[in-house]
């Protein structure tokens, strides 16, 4: 059922006018419609949608710029991200780092983190793996990232060169 099924035209105008600065639209909606049960159901649905949208916005904001990368460093950020990813997906993720991994430039740290995020997602979606291993080694200005898993691969003849036609 939609909002239009519950609200009369004059109700809709009243709903849009602010009553008090602290009163939310769903609170106003609850008081102005006649059918309390339907109104409560609709408001609960709206509240749940808003909560879910906020949760997703926070997740995207974290993924775009994880603040703990700047504060805690690459190693701690990857470990925390991997634990959280493993908890959400039941994928067992292990990490191994060289001691100087937090000495990479900020741009390289962001790049390594993005590649790891993408690798974790791809393994979860496509490999049907139960375990994933991440290793990052660094020696000065160079680093090596290795991501491996116990999932199913694909035939080598199906691999593409990465170049677009």
Beta-carbon contacts of 85 under 8 Å, excluding residues fewer than 6 positions away, are 91, 93, 120, 124
Q: Which pLDDT tens digits describe the chain residue by residue (165 residues)?
A: 444 444 444 444 444 444 455 556 555 555 556 677 777 777 788 888 888 888 888 877 766 767 678 888 889 989 988 998 898 889 999 999 988 888 888 888 888 888 999 999 899 988 889 999 999 887 766 788 999 999 987 777 776 665 544
**Which of 86, 157, 164 shows the shortest CA–CA distance to 123?**
86
Q: Give the domain 66-158 fold.
A: Heat Shock Protein 90 (3.30.565)
Residue boundaries of the structural domains of the chain? 3-61, 66-158
Taking a C-beta distance cutoff of 8 angstroms, is the pair 109, 124 a contact? no
- Predicted TM-score (pTM) of the model is 0.59
């Amino acid at each position: 059922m939609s909002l239009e099924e519950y609200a009369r035209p004059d109700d809709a105008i009243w709903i849009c006018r602010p009553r008090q600065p602290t009163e939310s639209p769903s609170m106003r909606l609850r008081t102005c419609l006649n059918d309390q049960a339907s109104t409560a159901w609709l408001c609960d649905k709206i509240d749940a949608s808003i909560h879910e949208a906020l949760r997703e916005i926070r997740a995207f904001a974290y993924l775009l710029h994880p603040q703990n990368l700047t504060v805690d460093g690459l190693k701690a950020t990857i470990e925390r991200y991997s634990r959280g990813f493993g908890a959400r997906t039941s994928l067992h993720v292990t990490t191994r780092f060289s001691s100087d991994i937090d000495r990479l430039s900020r741009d390289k740290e962001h790049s390594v983190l993005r590649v790891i995020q993408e690798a974790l997602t791809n393994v979860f979606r496509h490999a049907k793996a139960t375990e994933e291993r991440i290793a990052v080694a660094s020696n000065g200005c160079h680093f090596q990232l290795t991501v491996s898993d116990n999932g199913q691969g694909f035939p080598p003849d199906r691999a593409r060169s990465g170049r677009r036609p």
